[in-house]
Amino acid sequence: MIVSHRHRFIFIHCRKVAGSSMKVALAPHLSGRDLMLGSLHEALRDVDPRQGWILRQLMTPGGLRELVDARRKNRDWRSALNKVVKKRAKRRLGLSSSSHPPAAEVRSAFPREWDRYFKFCFVRNPYERAVSDYLYRTRNESNPPAFREHLAELHREAEAGKTKHDNWPMYTIDDHVAVDFVGRFENLDADFREAMTRVGLKDVALAFEKRRDYPRPWQDYYGADEKGLVERLYRREIEYFGYGFDDSSAGGA
């Protein structure tokens, strides 16, 4: 998530839509009291850490403590700062997630900004995104569960009230879309340019190339059971945006 008071926008970072690349592209344009939660360690590889909005996060007891601890344990200081910023903001703003909070919580944390700023996010075909998410979550497992087992576990979590799999609550309130612009991952470049035009920023380029890097075509992960599980898990997004299983996509994991 980004809240930019300088440019008067709120960026909702949905999962698996190249959101980190968008944050990295936007980071050099932030200043003052602007806040970026998540991906700070990636942005710091390209952004001068002496920028005011970064120093404001760094020069706190918690931030300095994390940096000293990271240096002592030979950990990456960028990741340490990213961690402490997310942890502090989650506690201070009352968020259930520091990187992907629901829209209702963002509105509660920033009521004036929510009413006055341009709010945008991106979505992605849930059939493909489910495969991308599965590969990401199991990337370090030597014996990962089958795709169907993964979806079944998400379904059990959803029945228990957990929504970590679902982007829908991140840009809706009371089941209604609550942001001003929803771009599509399938039309990433053009829709990001449109969002930047509305924000009033020029020449903000994404350092992201769509690629097909699945071990096999994402459609091959599906049988009738998998398709049915995804349709139950992401029913609202599929219905609202008219996504279909056979929709062409130029995306990648």
Phi, psi of 16, rounded to the nearest 5 degrees: 60, 45
Rounded average pLDDT over 56-71: 68
Which residues, listed in sequence order, are joined to residue 207 by a DSSP beta bridge?
none
Residue-wise pLDDT tens digits, 188-220: 999 999 999 999 998 898 876 555 567 889 999
Which pLDDT band holds residue 82 (cuts at 50, 70, 90)?
confident
pLDDT band at 225 (very low <50, low <70, confident <90, very high): very high
Greater model confidence, 70 or 82:
82
List b or e across 5-22, with b for residues whose CB sees 16 or more CB atoms inside 10 angstroms: bebebbbbbbbbbbbbbb
pLDDT at 250: 41
**Residues 139-194: tens digit of each pLDDT:** 988 899 999 999 999 999 999 988 888 999 999 999 999 999 999 999 999 999 99
Give the pair of three-digit tokens for residue 44.
């710091």
* Residue 217 token pair: 């075509």
Kindly state the average pLDDT of the residues 20-41.
Answer: 90
Q: How far apart are CA 146 and CA 221, in angstroms?
A: 9
Pick the CATH number of 2-241 from 1.10.3470, 2.60.40, 3.60.70, 3.40.50: 3.40.50
Instruction: Report pTM.
Output: 0.88
CB 210 within 8 A of CB 204: no
Instruction: Give the pLDDT score at 208.
Output: 62
Distances (CA, A) of 48 to 82, 146, 218: 15, 43, 38
